[in-house]
Structure 1
């Protein structure tokens, strides 16, 4: 099974400590080939058995199996990054898609009286795209420029509405606050984030993950939202197949 597919299938079994260790290992994937299980355990003030248990929960035989799989994945990325970076993003994002979740989201979209998008910065681009498309099929949806207006409208949601929060990091403060407000109001919530253990995904009813590589220019986020565009196109295409085509 593909490395990221194993993580997608099994990451939910990890406890908070194990999730923290996994995030750290993914951050250090360039140097993981030289790590030993004892080094990893010492770095996290834990025992080697904890690391072994973490790897087995993710579907690997042990740390060595996990380490080699992650290293090989990184080598593949390095070999093809200039030629097939977008192709790699599509492949990995497709492997992160849970179609049961997609089906649940489609049902939530169809039955929602109102759909609000919570997104700022570059993440507003895919939000605006899906917003415009949903309006074409008669859905009452909306995006926001001002975070204060976004949070105010979140308060007006009901149990018959849906909030879609988009943040690659899953840690954007305004998005987290608006999503919390929407939940308190009783609305269903969907998060679209990068593949990581993040605060936004933990608090929403539904989660979709896209694969991307962090890019910053002079400290400013310049990461492309290609995987997010893929996911919102998947949602809209599947929505048309299920609902709109039947009414025409």
Structure 2
């Protein structure tokens, strides 16, 4: 499996220095521009040294800037090809089904590359140490929350979740320093979730965020941030594949929780 440039940047974002975050933001916001730029032009745009941009490419796993550009070009051109194919109304049911599956498979593959083992371990430790775990998510994320709730309870974790935002706020205010709150959000910037996160942070409870955006408010204001990738198609918006990736990530976490309990 080839290295995913955007995924590598998102997964390592929390580790970057200020200069590296400057480069990361530039690539995440303007990937179509970057693939047509030389290393000198990118460095000039950011008022950085060429060597700094080169070291950034190495830091995220590439041999150099050119190798990173090739990977980036492949990533941003593939969705364009898929959308063009999807607009063909003569596609048969099998072809359409294959495209949806391919899109979701790609989201899972990219998510695997984005996962940081140290962060996963930190998340597992927080869950095992927590007196109780509360899960938060609104809108489409509530589906993932309820799936996660069942799985956590099945692993022996004292977990709960509420779909009503008022109940979420009330329950969040009663958390303590011994508790853990897990926020699941595709964008990481849902207004209701942000209000609850503010309440939770005031209680001193530990927090985990599962989002698709390392620069989101949730990602930047939790103790451990985990990321999933997503693919947008003509038929379904990005959260659709994001939900699948989030569910698989939670499956992996629950499996590791069971494994940790058996080895204790």
Measured against the shorter chain, the TM-score band is: 0.7 to 0.9
1:38-187 equivalences under 5 Å are 40=42, 46-47=46-47, 49=49, 53-54=52-53, 56-59=55-58, 63-76=65-78, 82=99, 84-187=102-205
Q: Is the 8 A contact 1:158 1:185 kept in 2?
A: yes
Give the SS at the match of 2:31: coil
Residues in 2 aligned to 1:10 and 1:102: alpha-carbon distance in whole angstroms:
13
Change in Cα spacing, 1:52 to 1:146, as seen in structure 2 (3 Å) is: farther
Residues in 1 aligned to 2:256 and 2:117: alpha-carbon distance in whole angstroms:
10
Change in Cα spacing, 1:207 to 1:58, as seen in structure 2 (3 Å) is: farther
Q: In the alignment, which residue of structure 2 is the partner of 1:192?
A: 210
Deviation at residue 228 of structure 1 after TM alignment: 0.6
Q: In the alignment, which residue of structure 1 is the partner of 2:90?
A: none
Unaligned segments of structure 1, at least 5 residues: none
Q: Is the 8 A contact 1:14 1:57 kept in 2?
A: no
Q: Return 160-169 or 73-82, whichever deviates more.
A: 73-82
TM normalised by structure 2 equals: 0.76
Change in Cα spacing, 1:38 to 1:102, as seen in structure 2 (3 Å) is: closer
Change in Cα spacing, 1:154 to 1:7, as seen in structure 2 (3 Å) is: same
Q: In the alignment, which residue of structure 1 is the partner of 2:4?
A: 3
Choose from 224, 227, 242 the match for 1:209. Answer: 227
- After superposition, the CA RMSD in angstroms is 3.3
1:82-128 CA distance string (max 9 Å, x none): 36222222221111122222222222222322111110111111111
Q: Return 171-180 or 125-134, whichever deviates more.
A: 171-180
Give the SS at the match of 2:225: strand
Residues in 2 aligned to 1:21 and 1:57: alpha-carbon distance in whole angstroms:
8
Pairs aligned (count):
242
Deviation at residue 61 of structure 1 after TM alignment: 6.3
Give the SS at the match of 2:151: helix
Residues in 2 aligned to 1:92 and 1:185: alpha-carbon distance in whole angstroms:
35
Give the SS at the match of 2:35: helix
Residues in 2 aligned to 1:246 and 1:93: alpha-carbon distance in whole angstroms:
27
Deviation at residue 8 of structure 1 after TM alignment: 5.2
Q: Is the 8 A contact 1:55 1:66 kept in 2?
A: no
Between 1 and 2, higher relative CO (CA 8 Å, sep ≥ 6) is seen in: 2
Change in Cα spacing, 1:20 to 1:235, as seen in structure 2 (3 Å) is: same
Unaligned segments of structure 2, at least 5 residues: 84-98
